[in-house]
Amino acid sequence: MSINATLIGQMITFTLLVWFTMKYVWPPIMEALEERKAKIAEGLAAAEKGQEEIKLAEKKAKNLVKEAKEQAAEIVSMAQKRANEVVEESKENAKKEGDRMLLAAEAQIEQEMQQAKEALRKQVASLALRAAEQILNEEIDKTKHKEILEKATEQLG
């Protein structure tokens, strides 16, 4: 067991190994480790952010649904109101139309009555004329005359 030149050889080998490790082994591995650390941190942050965003989106969606419901309710109530209005309007219109038709009918009735009266008058006149003619044709036949007159009167009545 003696110290000899092997020591020097071993020191050279050791120095080379340390130099090589320092130069070519340690830095890339450390770099990769650091990079992965950064990546993981980034990923975690992104995940957290994503979750927050989901929460935000959920809140937003809830708000939207609420708003939509409110709007829908408003629209329904407006529609009901409108429907009521339409019903009212049409009722009024119908009433007006009815009134108008009634008036028209009344006027027509009046007119027809006038016409009937006119026709009647004309008939009465012609009847009277015919009666007068017959009277004149028959000359003086008192009884007949009377009879005719009575008939005419009867017809008139």
Partner 1 sequence: MASEGGATGYIVHHLTPLTVGEGFWTVHLDTLFFSAFLGGLFIWFFKGQAEKATAGVPNLTQNIAEMLVEFVDGQVKDTFHGKSQLIAPLGLTIFCWVFLWNFMDLIPVDLLPGIAGLMGMEYLRVVPSTDLNATFAMSISVFVLIIFYSIKVKGIFGFVKELTCTPFGPWMMPFNLLLKVVEEVAKPISLGLRLFGNLYAGELIFILIALLPPLIQPMLSFPWAIFHILIIVLQAFIFMVLTIVYLSMAHEDH
Give the footprint of partner 1 on this chain (CB under 8 A): 1-11, 13-18, 20-22, 24-33, 35-36, 38-39
Q: Which is nearer to partner 1, 13 or 93 (CB)?
A: 13
Least Å distance, CB 40 to partner 1, is: 9
From the list 134, 124, 122, the residue with the least C-alpha distance to 148 is 134
Alpha helices in the chain (DSSP H): 6-20, 26-138, 142-156
C-alpha dist (Å) from residue 3 to 14, 16, 17, 55: 17, 21, 22, 73
Least Å distance, CB 30 to partner 1, is: 7
Q: Which is nearer to partner 1, 12 or 113 (CB)?
A: 12
Least Å distance, CB 19 to partner 1, is: 9
